[in-house]
Amino acid sequence: MKAAENYCDNLLTELGGWKDKVNDVVGRIDKFSSGDKEKIIDQVRDLHMFVEELDNRIEGLRAECPTDWEPGRIEMKVPLTEKYVY
């Protein structure tokens, strides 16, 4: 069971890191002038959608990974290997 706990923790850390990196890029773009932002508006929209998807995956992972790792008390709604394969 420790392997599943480590997997969940590592995946949460990795997704959180990607979210931070994308948010950093979005923050820098937000400082552009309106004219400069207009040229890349579609890409900025895509970045915002990507951050939202990361948020959804992070929250889903938190909800689906058990908080109590005692043997016999683990209930997984969806096998992680099916839903979170990268």
Query: How far is the C-alpha of 71 from the C-alpha of 34, rounded, in Å?
Result: 56
Give the type of residue at 9: D
The total of other beta-carbon atoms located within 10 Å of residue 66's CB is: 16
Query: Residue 44 is encoded by which pair of tokens?
Result: 């900025």
Query: How far is the C-alpha of 61 from the C-alpha of 77, rounded, in Å?
Result: 11
Looking at residue 60, its pLDDT comes to 87
pLDDT digits 0-9 by tens, 16-53: 999 999 999 999 998 999 899 888 989 989 999 999 99
Helix (H, G, I), strand (E, B) or coil at 33: coil
Q: Is the pTM of this model over 0.75?
A: no
pLDDT at 9 over 50: yes
Please provide the average confidence, as pLDDT, over all residues in the chain: 78
Q: Single out the residue of 45, 52, 57, 50 nearest to residue 84, CA to CA.
A: 57
